[in-house]
Chains A and B, each alone.
Chain A
Amino acid sequence: KNEVEQSPQNLTAQEGEFITINCSYSVGISALHWLQQHPGGGIVSLFMLSSGKKKHGRLIATINIQEKHSSLHITASHPRDSAVYICATRDDKIIFGKGTRLHILP
């Protein structure tokens, strides 16, 4: 069974800081999701990656298949980025990490 580990569990930063959230997994996968969930809210899919790097606005996601590791970066962070960020691996099933709670202070 795939184990998905995220770090850090919690992160508080000042507005404008560069944010990195890490995700490691234990077995080969077909793809990896990065998801965002605001308090009390539904889940938004940010990226689905199977190799390399993707960018959308201030968000960048990278994946290293050989090292079984992915990172989510947020540039010029803003209080509205405060949310839980969840990494999930995709194969025949989706396996979620425990999430990283991000809080950006104004």
Chain B
Amino acid sequence: DTEVTQTPKHLVMGMTNKKSLKCEQHMGHRAMYWYKQKAKKPPELMFVYSYEKLSINESVPSRFSPECPNSSLLNLHLHALQPEDSALYLCASSQDPSGAYEQYFGPGTRLTVT
């Protein structure tokens, strides 16, 4: 099983809402990543979890809150978002964070903030 799954596929939320994005992998990977991608731009790294601990936060605003409850699951909690946060949010995983292994990407969650 080389699949990374993400739910939901689409999410529309108001600026006062609280919602969560979910990512799951069952490949035994110990590194998991959140990326944000705006239209016609490459993905931008947001967070890296390494062995279930947050290892990189790319100066992401606190209205985005990641969580790694176990080695297979990665959540991104959203609160008080702005319309400019509308984007495709991609999750990825790799065997470890060293750079020696490829990343496997999920299909993404398309988020619209109204």
Contacts and interface: CB of A to CB of B under 8 A. Distances in A.
Main secondary structure of the interface of B (DSSP, over half): loop
Interface residues of B, number: 21
Interface stretch (B64-72, B75-83, B99-107): B99-107
Given A93-B56, A94-B45, A96-B42, A43 B105 contact: yes
A97 B107 CA distance: 20
Interface in A66-106: 86, 88, 90-94, 96-99
A52 interface: no
Interface in B2-22: 6
A106 B45 CA distance: 36
B42 A31 contact: no
B46 interface: no
Contact of B42 (A29, A40, A91, A99): A99
B103 A94 contact: yes
A105 B56 CA distance: 42
A33 B106 contact: no
A27 interface: no
Nearest to B42: A96
Interface string B93-114: 0000111111111111010000
- What 4 pairs between A and B have smallest CB-CB spacing? A42-B107, A96-B42, A48-B102, A43-B105
